[in-house]
């Protein structure tokens, strides 16, 4: 594998969430203070800003006895009940950490507020994309001004992140790191993606400002080609010809992805564009569907192409 050439045992630039955070000192302190005080708070930021990692870090800080509950609203089924999941009140109240909260429906938000009002939940920390608080006024009133905004990663933090991820085997000069950060517009996930692209396409010792700029230019050109979809798909108003019973236990997002993949194999980026969501969110859903043996990787070359398994297609008949 490409990372072996650099002396790494695995890919140090994986964009999956990690509790080993770099930066966010003020944000972490604020989040812990709000939760310790029993408040409701919201973490906002663009895709890849570090919201999931921050919530996962918070859960680890609380430990098992705090009964922290982490949920991803995007992957919850329509039948999910927060009240049943939380269970009966405990002497030590639970703390809810809700990711992708912008996917919540109104009944879920009402239950969340009611459980906090009733002291079943000690605190609620939610994370969402964007600054628009599309929740009932009664909920936003309880949040008040407790909003934590993730603004991005600067050059020094990016250098620390790369040093930590590579365990001191950083192959980039400061000039190259600066280019990576600027190209990613300070987005932590995109910085890691840029690091990976350079190392996959360039041999050790061959990374300089000119070769790095060339790879990033090609990456942008490929992204523009991916966005040129000749086959615009309009989602049907219902799930026909697939019976709801066939997709029982699937989240609304997963159901729509299945419909799209029935039309033909697609990349995560194409699915994200059609469904108006992030590529990271689509990746999480694809992983979940793969565990259910619904989807698989049709083509491993970048960008990866996904399709439905023959076994799952057969189950729909």
Give pLDDT tens digits for 24-47: 999 999 999 999 999 999 999 988
Task: Read off the pLDDT of each residue in 65-75 and give the average, rounded to a whole number.
Answer: 79
Task: Read off the pLDDT of each residue in 265-282 and give the average, rounded to a whole number.
Answer: 84
Q: Give the pLDDT score at 224.
A: 47
Q: Give the pLDDT score at 92.
A: 58
Left if phi > 0, otherwise alpha if psi is -120 to 50, otherwise beta: which for 207?
A: beta
Round to whole Å and give the CA distance between 81 and 60.
Answer: 24
CB atoms within 10 A of CB 108: 19
pLDDT-above-90 percentage for the chain: 46
Q: Give the pLDDT score at 242.
A: 62
Task: Read off the pLDDT of each residue in 279-305 and give the average, rounded to a whole number.
Answer: 83
Round to whole Å and give the CA distance between 2 and 200.
Answer: 6
Express each pLDDT in 133-164 by its tens digit: 778 888 989 999 999 999 889 999 999 999 99
pLDDT-above-70 percentage for the chain: 87
Using CA atoms, how far residue 228 sits from 107, 270, 288, 298, in Å, is 38, 9, 27, 21
Round to whole Å and give the CA distance between 206 and 172.
Answer: 10
Q: Give the pLDDT score at 31.
A: 95
Provide the whole-model pTM: 0.69
Q: Give the pLDDT score at 300.
A: 67
Higher per-residue pLDDT: 234 or 94: 94
Q: Give the pLDDT score at 302.
A: 65
Is pLDDT at 90 greater than 70 in this prediction?
no
Counting Cα atoms < 13 Å in the Cβ hemisphere of 142 gives: 19
Q: Give the pLDDT score at 292.
A: 85
Higher per-residue pLDDT: 252 or 117: 117
Architecture of domain 244-315: Orthogonal Bundle (1.10)
Q: Which DSSP symbol is given to 304?
A: P
Q: Give the pLDDT score at 259.
A: 86
Which CATH class, in words, describes the domain spanning 25-149? alpha beta
What is the average pLDDT value for the chain, to the nearest integer?
A: 85
Is pLDDT at 51 greater than 90 in this prediction?
yes
First to last CA, the chain: 40
Q: Helix-strand-coil percent breakdown of the chain, rounded to 5?
A: 50, 15, 40
Q: Give the pLDDT score at 154.
A: 93
Confidence of residue 295 (pLDDT cuts 50, 70, 90): very high
Express each pLDDT in 161-181 by its tens digit: 999 999 999 999 999 999 999
Task: Read off the pLDDT of each residue in 3-17 and give the average, rounded to a whole number.
Answer: 91
Is pLDDT at 265 greater than 60 in this prediction?
yes
Round to whole Å and give the CA distance between 34 and 287.
Answer: 32
Q: Give the pLDDT score at 28.
A: 94
Task: Read off the pLDDT of each residue in 193-210 and give the average, rounded to a whole number.
Answer: 94
């Amino acid at each position: 594998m490409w990372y072996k050439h650099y002396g790494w045992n695995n890919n140090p630039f994986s964009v999956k969430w990690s509790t080993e955070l770099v930066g966010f000192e003020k944000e972490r302190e604020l989040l812990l203070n709000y939760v310790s005080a029993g408040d409701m708070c919201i973490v906002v930021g663009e895709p890849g800003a570090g919201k999931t990692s921050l919530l996962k870090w918070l859960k680890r800080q609380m430990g098992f006895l705090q009964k922290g509950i982490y949920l991803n609203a995007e992957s919850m089924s329509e039948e999910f009940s927060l009240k049943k999941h939380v269970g009966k009140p405990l002497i030590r109240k639970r703390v809810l950490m809700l990711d992708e909260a912008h996917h919540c429906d109104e009944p879920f938000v009402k239950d969340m507020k009611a459980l906090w009002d009733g002291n079943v939940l000690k605190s609620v920390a939610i994370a969402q994309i964007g600054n628009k608080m599309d929740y009932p006024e009664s909920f936003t009133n309880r949040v008040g001004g407790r909003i934590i905004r993730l603004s991005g990663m600067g050059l020094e933090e990016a250098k620390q992140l790369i040093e930590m991820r590579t365990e001191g085997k950083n192959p980039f000069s400061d000039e190259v790191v600066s280019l990576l950060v600027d190209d990613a517009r300070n987005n932590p996930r995109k910085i890691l993606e840029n690091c990976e692209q350079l190392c996959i396409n360039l041999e050790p010792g061959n990374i300089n400002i000119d070769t790095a700029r060339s790879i990033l230019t090609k990456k942008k050109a490929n992204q523009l080609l991916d966005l040129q979809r000749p086959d615009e798909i309009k989602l049907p108003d219902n799930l026909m010809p697939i019976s709801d019973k066939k997709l029982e236990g699937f989240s609304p997002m997963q159901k729509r992805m299945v419909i799209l993949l029935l039309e033909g194999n697609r990349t995560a980026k194409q699915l994200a564009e059609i469904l108006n969501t992030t590529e990271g969110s689509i990746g999480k859903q694809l992983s979940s569907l793969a565990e259910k043996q619904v989807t698989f990787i049709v083509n491993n070359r970048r960008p990866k192409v996904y399709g439905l398994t023959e076994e799952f297609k057969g189950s729909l008949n």
